[in-house]
Amino acid sequence: MSAVAQGKLARLWKENSAYALTAGYGVIAPVAGLLAAPILTRLYSPAEFGVLGTFAAVMAAALSLVNLRYEVAVPLPQKDEEAYSLALAAMRIGLSPCCLSSPRHTFSTQRWSAV
């Protein structure tokens, strides 16, 4: 490979590495779930596994609504400080509903499987 082509590839990687990293995380998460599936099916009964699947589907939809897809916007700013601030804001926005709803579910007397 010529030096010019290597320089172009290095510049292309440097400019788009944040997008590649985000796409990589989008691949890693489903693979982790797929690898955990055999273990989860041994730990839970079919009814409990169904509740887990329903809970996971509802939470995935709710999280994308709550977080307003800020994680997609994090690689866009030109300055690292702006990207850091946006990432911090996205984490705060995403964690706020979690922190507010966790005590309700932790101290609830009703079991999830009874819902």
Q: Are residues 109 and 66 in the same domain?
A: yes
The answer to whether residues 49 and 78 belong to one domain is: yes
Q: What percent of the chain clears pLDDT 90, i.e. is strictly above it?
A: 1
Q: Are residues 63 and 51 in the same domain?
A: yes
Answering whether pTM is above 0.75, one says no
- Residue 52 sits in the same domain as residue 37: no
109-114: average pLDDT? 58
Same domain (yes/no): 95, 113 = yes
Question: In this model, does residue 114 exceed pLDDT 60?
Answer: no
Regarding whether 79 and 110 lie in a shared domain, the answer is yes
pLDDT above 70 coverage of the chain, percent: 76
Within this chain, do residues 109 and 95 fall inside the same structural domain, yes or no? yes
Domain count, the chain: 2
Mean pLDDT of all residues in the chain? 77
Residue entry with tokens 């320089």? 7
Do 38 and 49 fall into the same domain?
A: no
pLDDT band at residue 110, thresholds of 50, 70 and 90? low
With helix as H, strand as E and coil as C, how does 18-79 read? Answer: HHHHHHHHHHHHHHHHHHHHHHHHHHCCHHHHHHHHHHHHHHHHHHHHHHCCHHHHCCCCCC
Smallest Cα–Cα separation from 112: which of 63, 35, 50? 50
Q: How confident is the model at residue 35 (pLDDT cuts 50, 70, 90)?
A: very high
Domain that holds residue 75: 45-115
Pairwise pLDDT comparison (97 vs 84), residue with the higher score:
84
One domain for residues 56 and 111: yes
